């Protein structure tokens, strides 16, 4: 990406990382809370992840306010792209993209073990102990 004066800029700055980190924390805490505790809409399972878009819109609105007061403190377009990408990737991993299926997959070989299927004999010895939580 080319910035001012034709110089290449990536948009990855300390302030874009810190703002993106705040959004990451907000998404990681907010998305599972709305889905599993409050049982509201699924904010991360759509092609348009609301868990990333709504907090990012707040950042954009705040950025416009900062731009009106002190323009040099406002985030650039490239920095806003970094912030949005961080929130977008986090919303995919926070619930439906990884956490929902990972926990179920880890527990399944033990939860569905019966004497008839003999998973304890055939399967459990091949599962590393570090990957499965110890309940005892």
Question: Tens place of pLDDT for every residue, the chain, 136 residues?
Answer: 555 555 556 778 999 999 999 999 998 888 778 777 887 766 666 667 788 888 899 999 999 999 999 999 999 999 999 999 999 888 877 766 676 677 778 888 888 999 999 999 998 888 888 887 766 5
Q: Which two three-digit tokens encode residue 38? A: 């409050």
Q: Is 81 found in the same domain as 35?
A: yes
Three-state SS for 133?
A: coil
Q: Is 88 found in the same domain as 57?
A: yes
Residue 9 and residue 65: Cα distance in Å, rounded? 24
Q: Is 91 found in the same domain as 124?
A: no
**Residue 3, pLDDT score:** 53
Q: Is 92 found in the same domain as 74?
A: yes
Q: Is 30 found in the same domain as 86?
A: yes
Q: Is 88 found in the same domain as 122?
A: no
Three-state SS for 25?
A: helix
Which one, of 121, 92, 124, lies nearest residue 108 by Cα? 124
Q: Structural domain of residue 128, as residue ranges?
A: 106-136
Which one, of 51, 131, 130, 66, lies nearest residue 97 by Cα? 51
**Residue 10, pLDDT score:** 76
The dihedral of CA 53, 16, 96, 36: what is its sign?
Answer: negative
Q: Which residues of 30-64 are buried (b: 16+ CB within 10 A; e: fewer)?
A: bbbebbeeeeeeebbbeeebbbbeebbeebeeebe
pTM for the model: 0.67
Residue 82 and residue 2: Cα distance in Å, rounded? 15
């Amino acid at each position: 990406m080319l910035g001012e004066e034709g110089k290449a800029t990536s948009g990855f700055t300390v302030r874009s990382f810190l703002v993106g980190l705040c959004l990451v924390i907000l998404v990681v805490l907010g998305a599972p809370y709305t889905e599993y505790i409050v049982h509201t809409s699924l904010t991360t399972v759509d092609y348009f992840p609301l868990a990333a878009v709504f907090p990012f819109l707040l950042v954009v609105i705040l950025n416009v306010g900062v731009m009106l007061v002190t323009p040099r403190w406002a985030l650039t377009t490239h920095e806003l792209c970094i912030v949005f990408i961080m929130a977008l990737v986090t919303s995919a991993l926070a619930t439906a993209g990884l956490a929902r299926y990972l926990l179920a997959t880890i527990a399944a070989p033990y939860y569905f073990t019966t004497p008839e299927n003999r998973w304890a004999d055939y399967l459990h010895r091949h599962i590393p102990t570090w990957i499965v939580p110890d309940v005892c």
